[in-house]
Amino acid sequence: MDSESRQRMILEFTLTRGRVEVSALAEELDVALETVRRDLKTLANRRQLKRVHGGAIPLEIVAFHPGVEYRRGVDLAHKHRIAAAAVELLRGATTVFLDAGYTSRLIAERLVNKELTVITPSLLAAEAFVVSSTATVLLLGGRIRGSALSTADHWTLEMLRSFNIDLAYLEAKSISIEHGITTCDPADAAVKQSAVRATRRRILIAADSMLESESLTRFAEVSEFEAMVTGPELSNTDANLYETAGTVVIRA
């Protein structure tokens, strides 16, 4: 197979699957790892995809906010591992903020049998507690953001400002040591920023595709998080850089 045909296949796989891995592509296309890396570099230089640790993602995921149905199907096993590791950091917290996002929903599913008060703008996370007899859920009111199934704007912020919360699990669109923690939607960023201010401890949920990229609106710095839970693809060198910036890196 010539390089043009191979690169077209790689691009198609990336668009349909949401993420591709170098090792899996090498096996599927029956080529060397270095060949796949060169192809990904070529496609990234053409701005047809974005390189991430261990593979690549479609460029539009970086620029836009995908809907819940899309995010449910991307890197699901990876998100389950991150959620499980994040819950291990609860450490006696009795009041918890859960962010909008599908990984936050997976965290919620692991908290349903605990005695907690959960504050969240996420309809997805709140719904997980319908079966709980131990948790109290306070769903923040406001305008519903349809793509994320969460609330935002004035009422959401006013309610959130009235709380003193032990621990927040926060998701982001992009994470960078230089540019901070960012997201695409300014309304979403305002809710996250308010959650940072209302909480004593904060855990950052960081899929590999988010690392060392940037989005429109900054809501926090890396140093404001007790820990960053991410995937195993993050190199030791990059993990050390994030830890030097002030957070503990946990690779799930």
The predicted-structure confidence for 52-80, as pLDDT tens digits, reads as follows: 878 888 765 554 445 555 455 556 788 89
Bridge partners of 171?
205
Q: Note the pLDDT of residue 146.
A: 80
**Mean of pLDDT over the chain:** 89
209 confidence band (pLDDT: 50, 70, 90): low
Residue, of 45 and 225, whose pLDDT is higher: 225
Lowest mean pLDDT among 81-90, 172-181, 186-195, 202-211: 202-211
- The candidate with the shortest Cα–Cα distance to 203, out of 165, 154, 167, 230, is 167
The single residue listed with the structure tokens 């406001």 is 142
What is the reported pTM?
0.74
Q: Note the pLDDT of residue 70.
A: 45
Q: Note the pLDDT of residue 4.
A: 86
Q: What is the mean pLDDT of residues 198-226?
A: 89
- The candidate with the shortest Cα–Cα distance to 221, out of 184, 161, 176, is 176
- SS3 assignment, position 109: helix
Cβ burial, residue 25 (10 Å; 0-12/13-18/19+): buried
DSSP state of 122: B
User: Quick check: 248 and 222 in contact, CB under 8 A?
Assistant: no
128-153 pLDDT per residue, tens: 999 999 999 999 999 998 878 899 99
Bridge partners of 201?
167
Q: Note the pLDDT of residue 126.
A: 97
| Other CB atoms within 10 A of residue 244 CB | 11
CA distance 165 to 207: 24
The pLDDT of residue 220 is above 80: yes
124 confidence band (pLDDT: 50, 70, 90): very high
DSSP state of 225: -
The pLDDT of residue 252 is above 70: yes
> Residue 185 has which token pair?
């939607």
